[in-house]
């Protein structure tokens, strides 16, 4: 796996950044809203991408508590400076070809300068609250999406048994009901966060607008082994 030369990328990014007008944090905050589904500015809150809290001028691919970096990012030898972020938001695949980040990039140099200006503020240590206090982002956008706590799920959502037979799952819940689903419409998931289900009490949630797709969410891998049975 080839990693683009960080010195070359930094040089090219610096040239482009110098050509762009000074970034505007307010405009950058508006652009950042497209990032909130994957990134949080709250320390330690990792979504599909790592938390960005405190990463300004810190090494890439080294965030504590985040294990889903590509090999290229894990071995990257650059820090998150304005120049590197300017190159990254233009096209992450140019900076690290094997990155897992599914982002097409921003072509407009002024927009890139704007979002880098915002990130310079937001990614500094303990700045997640500052961007909210300054009215740049709503608190929910700085924090990132949060699931409703599953530990307090009602009986009709609390799973007591999962039986697989043929091409179907039969999901029993604490209200005494058992509902069949086509096996391709059932997803077995883990949620080990504090907002996940209580140990030994998996939860079933809707996963589609048709009402025929569900996710069964467990607190551990062992629970999946214990709850899911093959029986006709």
Q: How far apart are CA 86 and CA 60, in angstroms?
A: 14
- Name the architecture of domain 6-143: Orthogonal Bundle (1.10)
Q: How far apart are CA 69 and CA 63, in angstroms?
A: 9
CATH topology of domain 155-230: OB fold (Dihydrolipoamide Acetyltransferase, E2P) (2.40.50)
Q: How far apart are CA 94 and CA 99, in angstroms?
A: 9
User: Which H helix or E strand runs over 215?
Assistant: strand 214-218
Q: Can you read off the two tokens belonging to residue 160?
A: 């007591």
pLDDT tens-place values along the chain, 232 residues long: 445 555 556 655 565 655 555 899 999 999 999 999 999 999 989 999 999 999 999 999 999 999 999 999 999 999 999 999 999 999 999 999 999 998 889 999 999 999 999 999 999 987 778 899 999 999 989 888 777 789 999 999 999 999 999 999 999 999 999 999 999 999 999 999 888 999 999 999 998 767 789 999 999 999 999 999 999 9
Q: How far apart are CA 183 and CA 167, in angstroms?
A: 5
Residues 175, 189, 38, 127, CA torsion sign: positive
- Chain CA centroid to CA 48, Å: 2
Q: Would you list the domain boundaries of the chain?
A: 6-143, 155-230
């Amino acid at each position: 796996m080839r990693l683009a030369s960080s010195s070359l990328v930094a040089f090219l990014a610096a040239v482009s950044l110098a050509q762009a007008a000074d970034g505007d944090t307010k405009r950058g905050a508006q652009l950042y809203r497209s990032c909130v589904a994957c990134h949080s500015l709250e320390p330690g809150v990792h979504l599909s991408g790592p938390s960005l809290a405190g990463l300004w001028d810190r090494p890439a691919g080294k965030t504590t508590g985040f294990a889903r970096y590509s090999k290229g990012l894990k071995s990257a030898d650059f820090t998150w400076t304005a120049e590197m972020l300017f190159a990254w938001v233009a096209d992450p695949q140019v900076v690290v070809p094997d990155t897992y980040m599914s982002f097409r990039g921003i072509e407009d140099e002024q927009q890139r300068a704007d979002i880098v200006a915002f990130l310079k503020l937001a990614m500094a240590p303990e700045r997640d609250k500052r961007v909210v206090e300054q009215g740049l982002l709503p608190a929910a956008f700085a924090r990132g999406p949060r699931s409703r706590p599953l530990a307090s799920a009602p009986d009709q959502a609390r799973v007591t048994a999962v039986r697989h037979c043929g091409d179907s799952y039969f999901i029993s819940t604490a209200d005494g009901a058992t509902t069949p689903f086509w096996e391709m419409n059932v997803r077995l998931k883990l949620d080990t966060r504090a907002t996940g289900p209580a140990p030994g009490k998996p939860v079933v949630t809707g996963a589609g607008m048709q009402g025929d797709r569900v996710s069964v969410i467990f607190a551990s891998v062992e629970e999946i082994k214990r709850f899911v049975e093959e029986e006709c």
